Amino acid sequence: MRWAYWNPVKVRFGAGTFDEVGGLIGKRRYALVTYNQSIFNDLAARLTKVAGEPVAVIDNIETNPDCADLVNSCRVFGAATQAPEVIVALGGGSMMDAAKVLAASKGDFENVRRHLTEKAPLDMSAIVPIIAVPTTSGTGSEVTHWATVWDSANGSKYSLAHPLLYPEAAVLDPQLILGAPRGLTLATGLDSLSHALESIWNVNANSVSAGFAVEAAREIIETLPRLLDNLGDIDLRTRQARGSLLAGFAFSQTKTALAHNISYDITLKIGLIHGIACSFSLPIVMGWAIGNSPDCDAALRRIFGPDLSEGVRKLRSFLEGIGVKTDPATYGVSPAEWTRLVEKALEGERGRNFIGRQTVKAA
């Protein structure tokens, strides 16, 4: 078996590491991508004290970066009096996705749009480095080289990807995550679990990615229920952040698979938050994955025990126990619509990564 693993992101992890961001910026001019909310304004003020004022602040993105908003984001970025030499992404996965779009845009979203829709090449010499500072535990985007771009007006979703879009550095400070409410903690935690499991039942999996994924899944399954009842526990926040990071290292090599591809239509059509949309189907997909790869089965046994059929039940019970329904009908999806969604997802970019495609088609 031949495989390779490469991830160039320099990671700083632990309470208090936010104070290191100024040193990572150094003397470079920086743009700040963050939310226009009081807690983030306070963090921005802390950063300004050590790194100086940013040459641009992009704060018009909320969730699921959309083409309509990114046009304005790129315009602000490109209008900076002095060109930014580095981008600081402070927030959840949406901020990091937006930062990657900005980094590749040369100040004009049209450059990214043409790349996404027409396969026009990006100007590699113009890609701006990123320092990623996540304030949620779920996205893993701080250690990946792609970003999700939504086009809600046309019912589409794109993935921007380039090796130069790996962040230069990632700073994971669990103290920044303490204020995340229960709903966000649940959704992001399940997103990271999906990243871990989807990198296991994946045609691109390898020994290193599987090792990260198994450790991530075990950590998240053990930690998340306890964290949801103890949101202010810094030790649990630290463990969840670690699980999310390890899941990021896993799927940075493999990308996601079928459950994520299923989720895109559900998010676009009924607005179900991403972390729930990509995780409620995990027990179903795990059932399809079993028996297709000895390596996959071995990794799943390290998480769920020797009986993988019982493992499917354990995963379903885990999700139901933290309030996530696992029946597609709960989300307004009829059996016929579910069949159509799965068939469509199997042919999607992420669906083609799933090792059990033939099993599903034969069912």
Share of the chain above pLDDT 70, in %: 99
Domains assigned to the chain: 10-175 (3.40.50.1970), 182-362 (1.20.1090.10)
CA-CA distance, 286 to 312, in Å (whole number)? 7
Q: What does the alpha-carbon distance between residue 326 and residue 283 come to, in Å, rounded to a whole number?
A: 8
pLDDT of residue 341: 95
State how far the alpha carbon of 341 is from the alpha carbons of 262, 294, 344, in Å: 6, 28, 5
pLDDT, one tens digit per residue, over 74-97 is 999 999 999 999 999 999 999 999
Angle at 91 between CA 191 and CA 196, to 5 degrees: 20
Q: Give start and end residues of each alpha helix (H) in 181-293.
A: 182-200, 207-228, 234-254, 258-270, 274-277, 282-289
- Six token digits for residue 354: 């799933």
pLDDT digits (tens, 9 = 90+) for 230-273: 999 999 999 999 999 999 999 999 999 999 999 999 998 889 99
**Digit-coded pLDDT (tens) for 157-191:** 899 999 999 999 999 999 999 999 999 999 999 99
- Give the whole-angstrom CA distance, residue 13 versus residue 153: 38
Lowest mean pLDDT among 22-31, 146-155, 237-246: 146-155
pLDDT at 363 over 70: no
Residue 41 has pLDDT above 70, yes or no: yes
Judged by phi (left if over 0) then psi (alpha if -120 to 50, else beta), residue 5 lies in beta
pLDDT surpassing 90 at residue 362: no
Output the six-digit token pair for 344: 């469509």
Place of tokens 């890609």: 127
pLDDT band at 20 (very low <50, low <70, confident <90, very high): very high
Mean pLDDT score, 320-324: 98
Q: Average pLDDT of the chain?
A: 96
Please check the confidence at residue 361 and state whether its pLDDT lies above 80.
no
Report pLDDT digits (tens) over 212-236. Answer: 999 999 999 999 999 999 999 999 9
* 49 has a pLDDT exceeding 90: yes
* Cα(104)–Cα(15) distance, integer angstroms: 31
Q: What is the DSSP letter of 145?
A: S
The reported pLDDT for the residue numbered 21 is: 98
Predicted model pTM: 0.95
